[in-house]
Amino acid sequence: MTMIDENQTRAATQSASPWIAFRHKAFAVVWTATVVANVGTWMYNAASGWLMTSLNPNPLTVSLVQVASSLPMFLFALPAGALADIVDRRRFLIGSEILLTVVAAVSAVLVWLDLINPSILLLFTFLLGTGAAFTAPAWQSIVPQLVPKQDLAAAVASNGVGVNISRAIGPALGGVVIGVLGIAAPFWINALSNFAVIGALLWWRPPTPQGNRLPPERLTGALVIGFRHARYNPDLRATLIRAVAFFFFASAYWALLPLVARNQIAGGPELYGMLLGAIGIGAVGGAFALPWLKAVLGPDRLVAAGTFGTAACLVLLGVARYPALGFAACLLAGISWIAVLASLNVSVQMSLPDWVRGRGLAMFVTVFFGAMTAGSAVWGQLASAFGLPLTHFIAAAGAVTGIALTWRWKLRGGQEVDLAPSMHWPAPVLAIDADADRGPVLVTVEYRIASERRDAFLNAIKQLEPQRRRDGAYSWDVFEDAADSGRFLETFMVASWLEHLRQHQRVTNADRIVQAAVREFGAAGEPKVTHFIAARFAPD
């Protein structure tokens, strides 16, 4: 490695250090509060998984605890992401956390009074998972409001460290608390821990948005636009594909770990909590090495390495008969988990402009937990049919195969693309009444191109299609004048005049570069832009 390479690696490592984000007070306060709340959540998860092995030890039933926790993320994350983009995120989070606290307290009462059964346990796990589903996109969306853009990767890494610190402490503490105070105690602690995040959100005051704001989008329209953006955002699509290939197979050890602890290693709740804690300890340790690993390997090879580590963990859990081997497998699982999860999360954040961040992150959450839910159900069924060891081996083989099948989809790992709003589109000049809901709107852009540059121009303008569509257009095309050589008309349609005005605010600096390159082909002057709004006919 040359001296220049060493300096670049050192600079990249320092800039991605997770501790940089803590120089921002708002981030430090919110981070601390979420760690406290997550400790309670992990205590609840460990307690509910262990409680189910007592209520019904069938492998499929035990795996349904993971299904009940993950399924709401798959079902509700997308509307939650749309809400995160159109409502006040702070107020939304405060209200949601209060409701979660109430639900958690009711579940604690039922366990305390010994009124719990498998169905009720799964119901409350599902309800708490639903609350988490509705808050997850909003939580991730506020991270850019807590730190400046240059510290975003560090903040994402810090959040990963926080989650895994709580994962290391929560399950182990939950196992001890169950042994000392009884099975209901972790349920009570989970309810009380939510007060930390409620207090932090009440204290935090986000920066006031700058510039004129258009009316918020309607929920259904926001969902449609979010899906369209995801379809035409290649970086986001690549990240989602890589996520499916990892989380489906990694879900095996999450779903089956209670059975490995109880049946295969023959331990108690303390052992199960310590195995979960080992995953958290491994993840925290991996987070410290993450900046260096990312600088050396890059995001794609780091995800591949983490997936290989996960496959090795699954093999070890398949043969584990003693606690020591189980601990080793879980430590490796934690290191691998944080390597993959942090890389995928940064890739998603770097792929999204602010206006659609909640919806894009919701797509990631949906894929994440959809794969975890489907995987948990599959691995539970396979374990019932073929046993724990063979199921772990099958999952390991699938994880390795997934690396090869998805390698061509590359991840985003840096800040090389500027997705800040460019605001370079001039305000349209109107001569007629244009109500906000009036539409659809047809926008045409007329180009004059020299005949010898025709093919190069058509190749260049094709790059505008995904830009127009992911910013709100539902159709796009280019027409060539049959009677006037060199005259081309780009057209795209938007649902309403208000939606077109939103397009003006969504165009990024990266889009501007591509648009400027297309305009360079013009024979003279700027292309002519025209707006057509669907005419309103007088009633008969």
Number of domains in the chain: 2
Residues 402, 445, single domain; the answer is no
Residues 401, 507, single domain; the answer is no
In a domain, 435, yes or no: no
Residues 202, 304, single domain; the answer is yes
Residue reference for tokens 């984000």? 21
Residues 452, 366, single domain; the answer is no
Structure-token pair, residue 526: 């700027």
Residues 354, 481, single domain; the answer is no
Q: Which residues pair with 476 in a beta bridge?
A: 492
The answer to whether 222 and 85 are in contact (CB under 8 A) is yes
CA dihedral sign, ordered 46, 47, 49, 50: positive
Q: Choose the final residue of a domain: 406, 421, 453.
A: 406
- How many C-beta neighbours within 10 Å does residue 539 have? 4
- How many C-beta neighbours within 10 Å does residue 382 have? 21
Residue 127 CA to residue 398 CA, distance in Å, equals 31
Residues 368, 461, single domain; the answer is no
Residues 449, 327, single domain; the answer is no
Q: Among candidates 471, 465, 460, 440, which has minimal Cα distance to 519?
A: 460
The answer to whether 273 and 172 are in contact (CB under 8 A) is yes
Per-residue pLDDT of the chain (540 residues; tens, 9 = 90+): 333 344 444 444 444 566 788 888 888 899 889 888 988 888 888 788 778 878 887 777 777 787 787 778 778 878 888 887 877 888 889 998 999 999 999 999 998 988 888 888 889 889 998 888 888 888 877 887 888 877 777 787 787 777 767 766 777 787 778 878 888 888 899 899 989 999 999 998 887 665 556 777 787 888 888 889 989 999 999 999 999 999 999 999 888 888 888 888 878 777 877 887 788 788 878 877 877 888 888 889 999 999 999 999 999 999 988 899 999 999 999 899 988 988 898 888 888 888 888 888 888 888 887 888 888 889 988 998 898 999 999 999 999 999 999 999 999 866 567 788 888 888 887 777 777 678 799 999 999 988 888 899 999 999 999 999 999 899 999 999 999 888 999 999 999 898 898 898 888 888 898 888 888 887 556 788 999 998 877 676
Q: Give pLDDT, residue 182.
A: 83
Query: Given the DSSP bridges, would you call strands 528-533 and 441-448 parallel, antiparallel or unpaired?
Result: antiparallel
Q: What is the pTM of this model?
A: 0.75
Query: Given the DSSP bridges, would you call strands 487-494 and 475-480 parallel, antiparallel or unpaired?
Result: antiparallel
In a domain, 135, yes or no: yes
Residues 327, 453, single domain; the answer is no
CATH number at residue 114: 1.20.1250.20
CA dihedral sign, ordered 215, 221, 226, 229: negative
Q: Among candidates 142, 128, 12, which has minimal Cα distance to 65?
A: 128
Residue 292 CA to residue 323 CA, distance in Å, equals 31
Residue 252 CA to residue 520 CA, distance in Å, equals 53
Structure-token pair, residue 453: 């540059």
Name the helix (H) or strand (E) containing 491: strand 487-494
Structure-token pair, residue 242: 């890589």
**Residue span of the structural domain in which 184 resides:** 12-207+215-406
Residue reference for tokens 């949906």? 366
In a domain, 36, yes or no: yes
In a domain, 434, yes or no: no
Q: Give pLDDT, residue 161.
A: 75
Residues 380, 490, single domain; the answer is no
- How many C-beta neighbours within 10 Å does residue 450 have? 13
User: How many residues in total does the chain contain?
Assistant: 540
Q: Choose the final residue of a domain: 358, 388, 406.
A: 406
Residue reference for tokens 């003006």? 504
Q: Give pLDDT, residue 244.
A: 94
In a domain, 2, yes or no: no
Residue 274 CA to residue 323 CA, distance in Å, equals 10
The answer to whether 270 and 394 are in contact (CB under 8 A) is no
Q: Among candidates 358, 34, 416, which has minimal Cα distance to 193?
A: 34
Residues 6+ apart with CB under 8 A from 357: 84, 85, 140, 141, 144, 349
DSSP string, 140-174: HHTHHHHS-GGGHHHHHHHHHHHHHHHHHHHHHHH
Q: Among candidates 166, 192, 41, 183, which has minimal Cα distance to 102?
A: 192
Query: Which whole-number Å values give the CA distances from 128 to 71, 120, 136, 288, 484, in the listed order?
Result: 11, 12, 12, 31, 64
Residues 470, 397, single domain; the answer is no
Looking at residue 472, the DSSP 8-state letter turns out to be T
Query: Which alpha helices (DSSP H) does 444-530 contain, by range?
Result: 454-461, 464-470, 497-506, 509-519
Residue 150 CA to residue 144 CA, distance in Å, equals 10
In a domain, 320, yes or no: yes
The answer to whether 296 and 366 are in contact (CB under 8 A) is no
Residues 294, 201, single domain; the answer is yes
Residues 6+ apart with CB under 8 A from 181: none
In a domain, 428, yes or no: no
The answer to whether 170 and 41 are in contact (CB under 8 A) is yes
Q: Among candidates 39, 275, 287, 279, which has minimal Cα distance to 161?
A: 287
Residue reference for tokens 């300890």? 281
Q: Is 59 exposed, middle or buried (0-12, 13-18, 19+ CB in 10 A)?
A: buried
Q: Choose the final residue of a domain: 384, 406, 428.
A: 406
Residue 299 CA to residue 499 CA, distance in Å, equals 35
Q: Give pLDDT, residue 209.
A: 60
Q: Give pLDDT, residue 4.
A: 36
Distance of CA 359 to the CA centre of its chain: 9
Q: What is the 3-state secondary structure (H, E, C) of 296-352?
A: HHHHHHHHHHHHHHHHHHHHHHHHCCCHHHHHHHHHHHHHHHHHHHHHHHHHHHHHC
The answer to whether 374 and 273 are in contact (CB under 8 A) is no
Residue reference for tokens 């605890």? 65
Q: Is 54 exposed, middle or buried (0-12, 13-18, 19+ CB in 10 A)?
A: exposed
In a domain, 431, yes or no: no
Q: What is the CA radius of gyration of the chain?
A: 26
CATH number at residue 507: 3.30.70.100
CA dihedral sign, ordered 148, 149, 151, 153: positive
Residues 396, 447, single domain; the answer is no
Query: Which whole-number Å values give the CA distances from 374 to 58, 278, 319, 381, in the listed order?
Result: 18, 25, 24, 11
